[in-house]
Amino acid sequence: MMLPDIAPISTWYNGLAAPLIIAGPCSAESEQQVMHTATALARDGRTKVFRAGVWKPRTRPGRFEGMGCQALRWLQRVKCETGLLTITEVAIPEHVRQAVEHGVDMVWVGARTVANPFSMDMLSVELAQADIPVLVKNPLMPDLDLWMGAIERLARMGVRKLAAVHRGFYPYAQAHMRNVPKWEVPIDLRSRMPQLPIIGDPSHIAGRAELVHEVAQHALNLSFDGLMVEVHPEPPHALSDAQQQLTPEAFGLLLEHLVFPVPSSSDRLYMGAIEQTRAAIDSIDMQVLELLSNRMRLVEQIARCKRDSNVTVVQQQRWQRIRESRTAQGLGLGLSAEYITSLLELVHKESIKRQAEIIRGEAPRNGD
C-alpha cells in the first residue's frame, strides 16, 4: 500500500521540531515522582514531550502493571504546570478514550501490541477519531512487514500524524544489550516509507543506563527524527525498567554530550547511502560476535561436562560432521569453500584452547 501523506512533526503541535526529545519515567508511579521528573525536564527546556506509562504491558503477570486512570490526572497536571506535552502507551480502545478524555497529547503503541493486527485495527478506529499523533514501536520480532502493517492500518483509517519508534528486537540468547538494535531494520523502513519520522528509543535497546548514550548517538547519526529516553528521579527504585533509566541530571548531561548532526533532506531520505550500508554491516558484525560468544559459552559447558565425567571420547567424527555440514550450508549461502574452512578452523582452534584450559592436565582434543 502507498502510504498517504504523513504530517511532519513540525505540524503536530505549535513549536515542535525534529529532533523531537521525549523523556520521562518508564511508568508513572506516584504524583510526586511524575511532578518531580517533569519539573526537572521542563526546567532544562530541551524535552518537549513528557512520557510516562500508565498501563504497563508486562511480559509476566504479577509485576507492577501501572497506576491506571488516576495517573492520567498526574499527566494533566504536568501539562498544566510545566507546559510539556504528554504521551502515554495505549493498547486497547478504552485506553485511547481515557487518554483523550484526560487531554493526553500523543500516544504510543507498544512492541507487544503492534504485533497483533486485530489490536491495531481496533486501535486505528479509535485513534483516527482522537486525531492525535501516534507513535508506533517496532514489534518484538524483526519483522518489517508487521511493523509497516501496523502503521498502514492506522494510515488507512486516516491517522496522519504518525511516527515509528525503534526500540530494538528481542534477543533469544543473552546479548550485550537488552534488545538487539538491528539497525538495518529501521534503515529499511526509512527507504520504504521515506516520509515517516523515526524516533530512537535507546533506553529499551540498551537496557542499561551506561549504554544509552552510545545507542542514542547511533540513532542521531542515522538521521533519526528524535529520541525517547526513560528518565526517573531514583532509577534504582523504579517499579519497572530500573536498570535503564537515567536521572534528570544524567539525562541533561547526555543531551549535552550528544552530537546532533544537521541532516540535509537527502541525508534524511537516504541516511547517506554508504552510512546506511555501514550501519547495516556494523549491526550484523555485532550479532556475529554475540553469536560467537554464545557459542563459546556452550563449548565451556561441554568442557566442564567432559572434565566432571572424565570422558575421553575422541571426537574427530564430530569435527568432521561440523566441517561438512557448515561447508555445505555456507556454499548454499554463496560463501567460498576456502572462506568457510578458514573461519571454521579459527573457531575450532579457539574452542579447543578454551576447553584445554578448563580440562586442566588433559591434552586438547578435537571436537566441541
List residues near ligand PEP by CB under 6 A: 26, 53, 110-112, 137, 167, 204
268 binds, among ligand PEP, Mn ion, none (CB under 5 to 8 A by kind): none
* Closest distance of CB 96 from ligand PEP, Å: 16
CA separation, residue 183 to residues 19, 114, 287 (Å): 18, 19, 11
365 binds, among ligand PEP, Mn ion, none (CB under 5 to 8 A by kind): none
For Mn ion, the binding residues in 3-62 under the rule CB under 5 A are: 26
| Closest to ligand PEP by CB, 112 or 176 | 112
Which of 272, 152, 166 lies closest to 226 in space, CA to CA?
Answer: 166
| Closest to ligand PEP by CB, 114 or 303 | 114
| Closest to ligand PEP by CB, 27 or 355 | 27
137 binds, among Mn ion, ligand PEP, none (CB under 5 to 8 A by kind): ligand PEP
Rg of the chain over all Cα atoms, to the nearest angstrom = 24
- Please count the residues of this chain forming the interface with Mn ion, following the rule CB under 5 A: 2
Hey, how many other C-beta atoms are within 10 angstroms of the C-beta on 346?
Answer: 10
* Closest distance of CB 25 from ligand PEP, Å: 9
167 binds, among ligand PEP, Mn ion, none (CB under 5 to 8 A by kind): ligand PEP
In sequence order, what E strands does 52-121 have?
A: 85-89, 106-109
Exposure string over 78-105, b if 16+ CB within 10 A, otherwise e: bbeebebbbbbbbbebebbebbbebebb
Which of 345, 327, 329, 346 lies closest to 337 in space, CA to CA?
Answer: 327
Contact by Cβ (8 Å): 100, 127: no
* Closest distance of CB 144 from ligand PEP, Å: 16
Cα end-to-end span (Å), the chain: 49
For Mn ion, the binding residues in 203-242 under the rule CB under 5 A are: 241
| Closest to ligand PEP by CB, 53 or 133 | 53
* Closest distance of CB 137 from ligand PEP, Å: 5
d(CA 275, CA 308): 50
Contact by Cβ (8 Å): 77, 31: yes
| Closest to ligand PEP by CB, 91 or 340 | 91
154 binds, among Mn ion, ligand PEP, none (CB under 5 to 8 A by kind): none
State the DSSP H helix or E strand holding residue 215, giving kind and residue range, or none if neither. helix 212-221
* Closest distance of CB 239 from ligand PEP, Å: 11
Residue 340 is placed in which grid cell?
568457510
111 binds, among Mn ion, ligand PEP, none (CB under 5 to 8 A by kind): ligand PEP
Binding residues vs Mn ion (CB under 5 A) = 26, 241
